[in-house]
Amino acid sequence: MNLADKTIVITGAAGGIGAALAHRFAAEGVRLIVCADIDGDGAAATAAAVGGVGIRTDVSREADIQQLIETVEADHGPIDLFCSNAGIGIGGGAEASNDGWQRIWEINVMAHVWAARHLVPRMIARGGGYLMNTASAAGLLSQIGSAPYAVTKHAAVGLAEWLALTHGDDGIKVSVLCPQAVRTAMTAGNPDGVASIDGMMEPEVLAECCVRALADETFLILPHPEVLDYMRRKTADYDRWIGGMRKLNRAYRG
């Protein structure tokens, strides 16, 4: 995908990965970047910095995502690329609260579902479009210390796969972004966590990887190339991989 002269929506754009994507995309000569975030002031600040538009959006609410899509297309024309990037993390396992499970499910999974529900039919009707969903390496591997994060990110990858195989012939292109640790507000409280075993990536470096992957229309975006090796080891010998992850669990959780 050539980003020049495209209209792009980015959720979770107030900071971190979303803001870095906005700044990097702007350098490609896009027509418009729409920055969406539950932090409306933050979204507006990112938008102002890149000459875009900020819209307060709570991605845990389907109505907000529907309104975001309808507003952008009514006021600014068709959305060429929708980056469903907003996400959260919580700790714990099966004992995590029902409210916590529900909230992370809505933000990390259903937000992608709702974006596809309300945008894919529009894109198909006009001949195509592009979705880039932010998941995580945890969606391909797992997440020490957080079942809700691991489970929801696996679901996000599964949804992206389904969208790609189901709607590819309709002109819908899909990429799923699966980084390890990136220096954002989410990782600030745990800079030495297991996800940073291969180093903490700056969001600007990740954004550059995304631009290259979008140019090649690559489905699986792996800013940390080591993840591909980990995936291969996992599928080659699942039991051995589980053993290795148990060792990591002991090391990082004491």
Per-residue pLDDT of the chain (254 residues; tens, 9 = 90+): 999 999 999 999 999 999 999 999 999 999 999 999 999 999 999 999 999 999 999 999 999 999 999 999 999 999 999 999 999 999 999 999 999 999 999 999 999 999 999 999 999 999 999 999 999 999 999 999 999 999 999 999 999 999 999 999 999 999 999 999 898 777 666 554 565 666 789 999 999 999 999 999 999 999 999 999 999 999 999 999 999 999 999 987 75
The three-state secondary structure class of 205 is: helix
The two most distant CA atoms of the chain are separated, in Å, by 54
pTM of the model: 0.94
Is the residue at 59 inside a domain? yes
Residue 195 inside a domain? The answer is yes
* Predicted local confidence at residue 188, as pLDDT: 60
In a domain, 182, yes or no: yes
Give the CATH number of the domain where residue 152 resides.
Answer: 3.40.50.720
**Would you say residue 70 lies in a domain?**
yes
- Boundaries of domain holding 119: 7-225
In a domain, 245, yes or no: no
Q: Residue 56 forms beta bridges with which residues?
A: 37
Which residues are within 8 A (CB) of 142 and not within 5 positions of it... i.e. 6 or more apart? 150, 245
Give the helix ranges, DSSP H, for the chain: 16-26, 40-50, 62-76, 98-105, 111-125, 147-167, 185-188, 203-216, 226-236, 238-253
Q: Give the CA angle between residues 132, 73, 109 to the nearest 5°.
A: 35
Q: Is residue 136 part of a domain?
A: yes
Token duo for residue 195: 């996800």
The kind and range of the H/E element at 174 are strand 172-177
d(CA 19, CA 182) in angstroms, rounded, equals: 13
The answer to the question of residue 232 being in a domain is no
State the Cα–Cα distance between residues 47 and 133, nearest whole angstrom.
20
Report strand pairing: 32-37 vs 53-56: parallel
Q: Which residue has the tokens 């489905």?
A: 219
Domain count across the chain = 1
- Tokens at 234, concatenated: 């996992």
Q: What is the pLDDT of residue 99?
A: 98
Query: Can you tell me whether residue 247 is helix, strand or coil?
Result: helix
Quote the tokens at residue 242.
């589980």
Residue 37 lies in a domain: yes
